[in-house]
């Protein structure tokens, strides 16, 4: 066990020490803001991040989808959509790892905006697979044990969640337009289930712990109107506040 003053170096997980709550924390990044952009598939998260990436002093991290489509020559994202019962745990284990990797990576600017989080991977996507009967109970139990160990032992600070709230119909249209090969088989009902889980988590706050204040932005508008909304909310977002 490390004492509070000790640090450990292991690749990118450098300079960690135990905080007063007994969690591993990253040193030297306490004053940096972390904003997570959350929302349904194709709600416009990447487009939003692209817009804010033009602002100086912001580091933008998009979801590592290319890794999820190619890990050592395998495509766990595609496999999951083809056979969720068999491959759901494979994809979600890898997503949990890659999201943890992003949360723990060194922040290169005063502020980080990142796409989704380790929290939505578990509370939305794993939960959806399990509730829809497509993830065996043992797979859900193993993933849950991993998630609980991680969140109980490692500090994963988030200062603000920006929720791009969109109708499942809008997302379905945009998803068809984007035309990602693996996602061609996603039916509207899948997006409706993801939407409901997001609403219960971030709006009703009835399902799981919400790790940060939530700023809700309606995301059904066209791009021009979205930019107006981003400008209206710029100050709140950049100060990490929802009021």
Ligand X SMILES: O=c1ccn([C@H]2C[C@H](O)[C@@H](COP(=O)(O)O)O2)c(=O)[nH]1
Ligand Y SMILES: Nc1ncnc2c1ncn2[C@@H]1O[C@H](COP(=O)(O)OP(=O)(O)O)[C@@H](O)[C@H]1O
Show the tokens assigned to 29: 């990044």
Nearer to ligand Y, 137 or 177 (CB): 177
Nearer to ligand Y, 16 or 40 (CB): 40
**Alpha helices (H) along 154-218:** 168-178, 188-198
Pair 183, 175: CB distance under 8 Å: yes
Q: Which residue bears the tokens 């998803």?
A: 175
Least Å from the CB of residue 4 to ligand X: 33
Q: What is the 3-state secondary structure (H, E, C) of 57-126?
A: CEEEECCCHHHHHCECCECHHHHHHHCHHHHHHHHHHHHHHHHHHHHHCCCCCCEEEEECCHHHHHHHHH
Binding site annotation covers 178?
yes
Distance CA 51, CA 44 (A): 11
The answer to whether 175 is annotated as binding is yes
Q: Is 181 a catalytic residue?
A: no
Q: How far is the CB of 199 from ligand X (least distance, A)?
A: 16
Is 45 flagged in the annotation as binding? yes
Q: Which residues bind ligand X (CB under 6 A)?
A: 41-42, 45, 63, 65, 77, 91, 95, 121, 125, 183
Catalytic residue among 29, 50, 63, 115: 115
- Give least dist CB 175 to ligand Y, A: 7
Closer residue to ligand Y in complex, CB, 46/55: 46
Partner in contact with 125, chosen from ligand Y, ligand X, none, beta carbon below 5 to 8 Å by kind: ligand X
Q: Is the distance from CB of 188 to CB of 176 less than 8 angstroms?
A: no
| Cα 199 to Cα 203: distance, rounded to the nearest angstrom | 5
**Residues paired with residue 218 on neighbouring β-strands, in sequence order:** 165
State yes or no: 43 annotated in a binding site: yes
Find which of ligand Y, ligand X, none residue 121 binds, CB within 5 to 8 Å per kind.
Answer: ligand X
**45-52 vs 223-232: helix axis angle to the nearest 10?**
60
Binding site for ligand Y (CB under 6 A): 39, 41-47, 174, 177-178, 221-223, 226
User: Per the annotation, does 72 bind a ligand?
Assistant: no
As measured in angstroms, the least distance from the Cβ of 186 to ligand Y is: 11
Tell me which of ligand Y, ligand X, none is bound by residue 44, counting a contact when its beta carbon lies within the kind-specific cut-off of 5 to 8 angstroms.
ligand Y
Hey, which residues are catalytic here?
Answer: 115
**Which residues contribute to the annotated binding site for ATP?**
39-47, 174-178
């Amino acid at each position: 066990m490390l004492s509070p003053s000790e640090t450990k170096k292991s690749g990118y997980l450098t300079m960690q020490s135990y905080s007063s709550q007994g969690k591993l924390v990253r040193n030297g990044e306490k004053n940096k803001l972390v904003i997570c952009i959350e929302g349904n598939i194709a709600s416009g998260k990447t487009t939003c991040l692209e817009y804010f990436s033009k602002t100086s002093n912001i580091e933008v991290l998009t979801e590592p989808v290319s890794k999820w489509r190619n890990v050592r020559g395998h495509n766990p994202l595609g496999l999951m959509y083809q056979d969720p019962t068999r491959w759901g745990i494979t994809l979600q284990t890898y997503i949990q790892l890659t999201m943890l990797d992003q949360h723990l990576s060194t922040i290169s600017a005063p502020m980080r905006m990142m796409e989704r989080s380790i929290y939505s991977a578990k509370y939305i996507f794993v939960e959806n697979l399990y509730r829809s009967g497509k993830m065996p109970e043992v797979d859900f139990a193993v993933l849950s044990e991993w998630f609980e160990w991680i969140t109980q032992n490692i500090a994963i600070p988030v200062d603000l969640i920006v929720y791009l709230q969109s109708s499942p119909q809008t997302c379905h249209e945009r998803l068809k337009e984007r035309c990602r090969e693996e996602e061609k088989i996603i039916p509207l009902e899948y997006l409706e289930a993801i939407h409901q889980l997001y609403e219960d988590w971030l709006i009703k706050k009835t399902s799981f712990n919400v790790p940060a204040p939530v700023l809700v932005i309606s995301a059904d508008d066209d791009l021009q109107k979205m930019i107006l909304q981003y400008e209206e909310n710029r100050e709140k977002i950049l100060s990490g506040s929802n009021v």
